[in-house]
Amino acid sequence: MPAFPQAADASTRNTQLRANLRHATHTIRAKRAAAVAELDDWSRLRAAGAAIKDRTLRHLDQYLEQLESAVTAAGGQVHWAADADEANRIVTELVRATGEREVVKVKSMATQEIGLNGALATAGITAYETDLAELIVQLGDDLPSHILVPAIHRNRGEIRDIFTEKMSQWGRPAPEGLTDAPADLAEAARLHLREKFLNAKVGISGANFMVAETGTLVVVESEGNGRMCLTLPETLISVVGIEKVVPTFQDLEVFLQLLPRSSTAERMNPYTSTWTGTTDADGPRAFHLVLLDNGRTDTLADTVGRQALRCIRCSACLNVCPVYERAGGHAYGSAYPGPIGAILTPQLRGTQSELDASLPYASSLCGACYEVCPVAIDIPEILVHLRERVVEGGPASVRGTRTVIKPAKGHAAERAAMRAARWALDHPRLLRTGQRLASRTRRFHPRRLPGPGRAWSDTRELPKVPEESFRDWWQRTRGGSGTGSGTEGRKKTT
Amino acid sequence: MDSRALVMARIRRALTDVPRTETPGEVPVERTYHRVHGDRTAARTVDLLAENLADYRALVHRADAPSSLPALIARLLADRGATSVAVPPGLPGSWLSDVPDTVRRVPDTAELTPHDLDAVSSVVTGCAVAIAETGTVVLDAAPDQGRRRITLVPDHHICVIRVTDQVVDSVPEALERLDPVRPLTWISGPSATSDIELDRVEGVHGPRTLEVILAGPESAGQS
């Protein structure tokens, strides 16, 4: 994957994409604002949501042990995966053990993060995505571009073409003469997928929440494909990040108010399913929970970045982000696009690759993402913190080991500039000479920077150098009066 | 070291800033949010439930008068042209008493396959609780509601809410009534998707028609 600036340079030229995204993000952000305004205690719910997650994260080991016992007691089996490969291996083995070669899947960020479908395909197992948008993405041999509406970059005409061309390769073909009306497209998906649901023996899901106290898992959805995958198969495998645990069943009262209104701007999403282990003759007979680390403990180790693990994947931050709106989700090169992706991806994967090192810069730091976040993640704060890590390096946890990472490549100019500035500020006499020189030569200053600075000055006005520096002005107007000559004056006398 | 031990060790190393003596209870969680939004009479709460259900495109009916419930259920099934109806084991017998015998009763049993259910027109159930502020009915797989799948595969769901004792105002009030050990299904309007250009379309996989009956004290009986 290219770094964000290169990817965005290409995607921002796609006018269709920009038009689709602009329509989608503006529609949904207006609806969300209205849904949130219905609750006059929103800020208190938000504070409670953040606090519950903080409590959980600060005692994550205890809550995971409690969760494991509760799930096991309820008839489920718990597996632990330190990274993506291990999670994929566990799921593959579990599916193999059933003797099945096909699985139905509920939309899940965690399985997308670990590339589960690809791993299953390598093992000869076909995973069918059953969320309508995920189906569009899968049939189109495409990647999701939004957390909540993964096919937001596709318009109805493109979807019709994808269905007409590809459905027959995966199962029931699209009906003859399929139109591009959303109702007809949804009907085609219903028919295509129903065949899969009715025959499915294995379902794979993620979860929105896991309750430590009771071992209850929660999936929030709209279409009913989730319910199909969670109840019709004989075996259910859920892959869930360790940060998704909440302490008590009562805590759901906070998140089931925060999540639907923040994500789809509804009072409540059409379907929410909860299950606690297995239930006799109702739903799957076998339940496996795969608890996923894959960089989450590294994120946990960073006291500034830790708050990113509060995220409940509502996608409100995407819909208000001016950068996401123009660049689109693919430019972020990760399952997690938008502002949350810009802070989560470099923490989960580290900042070593060029792409991951570029993500903390994929923001204008306008702060809109923080304003809408239902669990009050200070995204701008983490962005700045990660930028520092990229430029300066420093202590970080990598795969569970505390280490000191080197500055990322490609930031040499920035580092050199910062070093020069530090040096100049430590030498006031030189600074003053430099400022005077700059003032006197201002007529000859270029409008654009040469060399590596050119990209920066291509899109910005260079600030004009004033005729006289502040220090000189101060000296001239107040310096002689003897009323507190400031740092400069003191330095001179010593 | 197995992965469980590895992940646990990583977590403990990651949390070196958390004092060893700190307990979860010492991390403050202020529950100053409302238990209920607004102050309503019981009748107004039921009206709000009806409004919010309808806003999410459920079809809402009232059965206030004594014994009007069986006639209403029979009419809704007939209007729909239902030829068969899935029946939870504990559904009050009177509820289907006006439905003609030509409509096949399909009892909810463990032997019923998903394919069998796919051939069923409609399903009639009770519920565990209904939430006015969000327009939600919650099923908990009790005998009058049956297994989760019977309200999922048929395309038409008729759900009866007893207004006397099953309607609450808010999400917090609903949760404290529910047993987490039971599988729960929260339903707010029919199945819906907005995945195509954000146009809302009812029904992709779940029932495309949800009819809710608000049953008065005398019509609903006790299940």
pLDDT higher than 60, residue A482: no
Q: What do you get for the CA distance between the two ends of chain B, in Å? A: 54
Q: A231 CB near a chain B CB, below 8 Å?
A: yes
Q: What integer pLDDT is reported at residue A480 of this predicted model?
A: 65
What's at A401, amino acid-wise? T
> Which of A224-233, A458-467, B63-72 is the most confident on average?
A224-233
Q: B105 CB near a chain A CB, below 8 Å?
A: no
Q: What integer pLDDT is reported at residue A316 of this predicted model?
A: 97
Question: Does residue A455 or residue A81 have the better pLDDT?
Answer: A81
Question: CB distance B15–A281 less than 8 Å?
Answer: no
Q: pLDDT tens digits for B193-210?
A: 888 888 888 878 999 999
Edge-first strand order for the sheet with B167-168 is A245-246, A209-211, A216-221, A271-276, B184-187, B136-139, B129-131, B167-168
- pLDDT > 70 in chain A, percent: 96
pLDDT higher than 50, residue B223: no
Between CA A217 and CA B183 the distance in angstroms is 10
Residue of A nearest to B113 (CA): A198
DSSP letters spanning A476-491? HHTGGG-S--HHHHHH
Which value does ipTM take for this structure? 0.96
Q: What integer pLDDT is reported at residue B41 of this predicted model?
A: 96
Between CA B161 and CA B172 the distance in angstroms is 19
Q: A283 CB near a chain B CB, below 8 Å?
A: yes
Question: CB distance A48–B4 less than 8 Å?
Answer: no
Residue of B nearest to A38 (CA): B37
Q: What are phi and psi of B128, to 5 degrees?
A: -90, -45
Q: How many CB atoms lie within 10 A of CB A325?
A: 18
User: Hey, what are B135's tokens?
Assistant: 């327009």
Q: pLDDT tens digits for B156-175?
A: 999 999 999 999 999 999 99
Q: B187 CB near a chain A CB, below 8 Å?
A: yes
Q: What is the mean pLDDT of residues A140-160?
A: 93
User: Hey, what are A463's tokens?
Assistant: 């600030």
pTM: 0.91
Q: A222 CB near a chain B CB, below 8 Å?
A: yes
Question: CB distance B141–A279 less than 8 Å?
Answer: yes
Residues of B in contact with A136 (CB under 8 A): 195
Question: CB distance B183–A283 less than 8 Å?
Answer: yes
Q: B6 CB near a chain A CB, below 8 Å?
A: yes
Q: What is the mean pLDDT of residues B124-136?
A: 98
Q: pLDDT tens digits for A33-55?
A: 999 999 999 999 999 999 999 99
Q: B36 CB near a chain A CB, below 8 Å?
A: no
Q: What integer pLDDT is reported at residue B210 of this predicted model?
A: 97
Q: Please name the member of A58, A65, A273 whose beta carbon is closest to the beta carbon of B185.
A: A273
Q: What is the mean pLDDT of residues B92-117?
A: 96
pLDDT higher than 80, residue A414: no
Question: CB distance B114–A198 less than 8 Å?
Answer: yes
Question: CB distance B183–A279 less than 8 Å?
Answer: yes
Q: A232 CB near a chain B CB, below 8 Å?
A: yes
Between CA A233 and CA B221 the distance in angstroms is 35
Q: What integer pLDDT is reported at residue A268 of this predicted model?
A: 97
Q: What integer pLDDT is reported at residue B89 of this predicted model?
A: 97
Q: B201 CB near a chain A CB, below 8 Å?
A: yes
Q: What integer pLDDT is reported at residue A388 of this predicted model?
A: 94
- pLDDT > 90 in chain A, percent: 80
Q: Under the phi-then-psi rule, with left for phi > 0, alpha for psi from -120 to 50, and beta for the rest, what region is A368?
A: alpha
pLDDT higher than 60, residue A488: no
Q: What is the mean pLDDT of residues A306-329?
A: 97
DSSP letters spanning A61-115? HHHHHHHHHHHHHTTEEEEEESSHHHHHHHHHHHHHHHT-SEEEE---HHHHHTT
DSSP letters spanning A229-282? HHHSSSEEEEEEEGGGEES-GGGHHHHHHHHHHHHT--SS-SEEEEEES-BTTB
Residues of A in contact with B147 (CB under 8 A): 231, 281-283
pLDDT higher than 70, residue B149: yes
Q: Please name the member of A133, A185, A300 whose beta carbon is closest to the beta carbon of B15.
A: A300
- pLDDT > 70 in chain B, percent: 97
